[in-house]
Amino acid sequence: MIQWQTRYETGITDIDDDHRRLVALINDLDSALAQDGDMGLVGRVIDALVEYADYHFSREEALMAEAGFDDLAGHVESHADFGQFLGAMVGGCILNPSRETAARIIDYLQEWLVDHILVEDMKYVPLVRGRASSLH
């Protein structure tokens, strides 16, 4: 389980809310697997996670583009790599539903999200926050 920490906060309300929702979905996946391993429930949580991640990535990329973030292409590529890996893992889970596959997805998600927030997202935060404050 991921415990939300203040160090994950960007100070951008919408992005922080999205990140909290992604953390909650990852934790829901962990809980679904731990409770009884109902692969139907696990699949539904994964579907919700994929859908919300797509929504979040689109919103985040739009903020970066609007602010003129110079490494937007790299950040978009990171999101695409995540989507490809997750798609492959989900495909594997559909073809061979197992606790082990779901556990690998959870491990990857936990590590990727925390690293992505703390390293990649923090790169655009000063520019986006600076732009928002200059608009007020």
**Mean pLDDT, the chain, integer:** 86
C-alpha distances (whole Å) from 63 to each of 15, 75, 118 are 10, 12, 18
| Rounded Cα gap, residues 43 and 50, in angstroms | 10
Position with higher pLDDT, 1 vs 130: 1
C-alpha distances (whole Å) from 66 to each of 33, 55, 62 are 39, 17, 6
| Residue ranges of domains in the chain | 10-135
| Rounded Cα gap, residues 90 and 51, in angstroms | 13
Q: What is the architecture of the domain spanning 10-135?
A: Up-down Bundle (1.20)
pLDDT band at 94 (very low <50, low <70, confident <90, very high): low
Q: What is the pLDDT of residue 115?
A: 94
Token pair listed for 79: 């999101």
Q: Are 78 and 60 in contact (CB under 8 A)?
A: no
